[in-house]
Amino acid sequence: MLGIKRLSLINNHLSSQFPPIPYDESLDNYRKRGEEINKEVLLRHIFGDSYERIITFRNHMKNDPIFNHHDEAEFSRSKKRERVVQQIASIYFKAIISYEYCKAGPLRKYELLYALCDYDIAVATRISIHLVLYIDAIETLGTSKHLEHIKRAYSLLDYGCFGMTELGHGSNVAKLETTATYDHSTREFIINSPTATSAKWWIGGLGKTSNKSVLFARLIVEGVDKGINAFIIPIRDNQTHDSLPGVIIGDCGKKIGLDGIDNGFMLFKNYRVPYDSLLDKFSSITNDGKFKSIISVKEKRLGTMMVGLIGGRVAVVSAAEQHMKIGLTAALRFSAVRKQFSSDEIENPILDYPLQRYKLIPHLASLFAIRSILLWCNKHLPIVQQKINENPEAIEVSEYHAILSACKGVASWYSSSCLQQCREACGGLGYSYYATLGRIIMNDNIGSTWEGDSGVLIQQTAKFIFKQVQRNFKGHAIDAPSLKCIKVDHEKLMQFKAKFENSEQLENENSLFELIEYRLNYILYQSLMKLQEATGNSKDMFEAWNKSQVFYLQELAKTYGEYIMMREFAKFVKELEEKCEKTGKVLRKFFVLFSVGLIQKYSASFQDSAINAHQAKVVRESVVRLCGELAEVSIKVIDAIAPPDSIHGSVLGVANGQIYAKLIEQVEKAEEVYDKPHWLPLLQKIKQIKKT
């Protein structure tokens, strides 16, 4: 430590115009506070079987100078995109990603994406569009004849994109306008963009990179619209990289974030592709030119196709967790170092203030809730993908889809709220690019609409719950394990009274689950009543359903997602306690804070009948107390899970706590920091105008 202090002082003295900054021990001192945890046990528990591979990827990025956030600060959009491709090339082949490697372990490519997302979601997304959306679509919707496309993609002989979203349609995939008309005389499909709004839009990797695309279009056979089907098509010449005749490709231009991703648009003019372009697992065309499908109803067929493309939504949940982790790394370490105000001459670390703790610590609890559900998603993803191949309408498939849809929405909303709080918690310094918070806020912002608008997607969760309740009304048992807690007896529900009188009784795991299950059933009943009311004054069920969204169906789906997160968080803690009692004890407090926080957040529905004023006060006091206790250990916890400094890139979150020295260092490295402006003549001209 003494050596580090000396190096810090020497470096500051030799390279800076600022007075020397003494070594700041604030973060070191905060690390000594609170309960002890085993950091390695916690990180291994978080990463599970992926631990060794993720750490290997982290070490590669840590030691490769091409992964450097501060170098990229002044990059143009084109230069940033070039750097992302260089970074992918740097790590991809070292990861030994191949068709055989991923078949042996379906989650292995996600491990690479997870590690890259710790650095920059733009890098992770640029390759995940290819590895997950493009390849998984071919695997899920194609047949054995498409295997060569998959192998070429894994070898990067082809680079693919995912051509679904159009300028005029995103969430409503059934209304996509691009057409693929079958010509039986040549056994070809003729692809056209009949309107301006049918242009494929926001397609990641399309603008400058991809030479192939999975394309979603309306299949027209003998003049009849057979609904949305998927095709794999070449779009650029593999040698010259020119767009192919009949294909128009352009760049979507500047975005508010993610400049490393080349989002593009694409139009078609009588573009012909051979019959084998059709990904024909569910639908095909016979030798005599007739359309056939193993799923006769086109709406149900589309739903089955979409359920199969779940990997991207898992990636959004993962990105939310990682963005929160990086944001909290910056905000918590900064808050332990930053000192403001006091009742005497020695200023206090702002992390000692209850308001700062309440601002940050609940988000750290939510981070572990998201990690817990992500572990569940990762564990069940290969199982569900196999089940889709066997029976795409199985209850395991629909339940997984419902849980993932809810948790994708909840995680993206949690992340957005967390990052804004982290930015505010760091005050004005949080607005610096070098704090990295602005970068990840803008990169994270897409999560609420990526892979489906969260508010629209979560409606599928509400429909799943309603279908299960309808089974119950018809005398059948609910067959979704996650909904066994559902009770449709309203009178019994409204008789429920919470039994806790103090924080100890409240924070009992059984008591917490009892309360959240009550909340789920309460919102379910309210939603049923609202939908019934809306049905009576609406022209059809579509209108009634939409009238029931605000305060009802949306809340039902979110509550279900949070309930599942809570369930998996409890399992996560129990398993950790078996590995390390002291670490598990600390994480149990985070579980309690997350759960009590849900009760506090939804206090209005509880105070309808389940909780009295005294109990509501107990809930609030428990939240504040837990925030205080967990703030003491928060630096140890964030140390355990944070990626290395060179990967997260925040000067406010540096592990050695020298935030001011690091910020000054980066600012002084910036372009033209001490130079006169090149527009100095303009200033001088203005002064001359003033004189005259």
CB 444 within 8 A of CB 419: yes
The residue assigned the tokens 């949080």 is: 430
Nearest C-alpha neighbor of 587 from the set 571, 603, 609: 571
Q: Where are the alpha helices (DSSP H) in 263-392?
A: 298-307, 311-337, 354-390
Nearest C-alpha neighbor of 316 from the set 410, 398, 417: 410
CA distance 359 to 88: 36
CB 230 within 8 A of CB 214: yes
SS3 state of residue 529: helix
583 is in an annotated binding site: no
Listed in sequence order, the residues at least 6 apart from 515 whose beta carbon sits closer than 8 Å to its beta carbon are 498, 599, 606, 610, 611
For residue 656, give the DSSP letter.
Answer: T
The residue assigned the tokens 């980066």 is: 666
CA distance 190 to 624: 63
- Please name the helix (run of DSSP H) or strand (run of DSSP E) that holds residue 520, with its range, or none: helix 509-536
CA separation (Å) from 655 to 116, 299, 641?
20, 52, 12
Listed in sequence order, the residues at least 6 apart from 390 whose beta carbon sits closer than 8 Å to its beta carbon are none
Listed in sequence order, the residues at least 6 apart from 307 whose beta carbon sits closer than 8 Å to its beta carbon are 388, 392, 397, 398, 401
CA distance 481 to 469: 13
CB 569 within 8 A of CB 563: no
Phi, psi of 203 (to 5 degrees): -80, 110
Nearest C-alpha neighbor of 623 from the set 644, 637, 603: 603
The burial class, CB within 10 Å (0-12 / 13-18 / 19+), for 488 is middle
Nearest C-alpha neighbor of 26 from the set 648, 661, 646: 661
CB 481 within 8 A of CB 376: no
Residue 125 CA to chain centroid, in angstroms? 11
Tell me the one-letter amino acid at 387: K
Nearest C-alpha neighbor of 662 from the set 31, 15, 67: 15
Q: Vertex 315, ends 312 and 316: CA angle to 5°? A: 95
Q: Where are the alpha helices (DSSP H) in 142-252?
A: 147-154
CB 456 within 8 A of CB 555: no
CA distance 408 to 457: 9
205 is in an annotated binding site: no
Catalytic residue positions?
A: 451
Q: Is the dihedral of CA 57, 60, 61, 62 positive or negative?
A: positive
Phi, psi of 172 (to 5 degrees): -90, 75
CA distance 520 to 522: 5
The burial class, CB within 10 Å (0-12 / 13-18 / 19+), for 501 is exposed
Helix axes 437-444, 121-128, angle to 10 degrees: 30
Q: List binding-site positions.
A: 165, 204
Q: List binding-site positions for FAD.
A: 165, 204
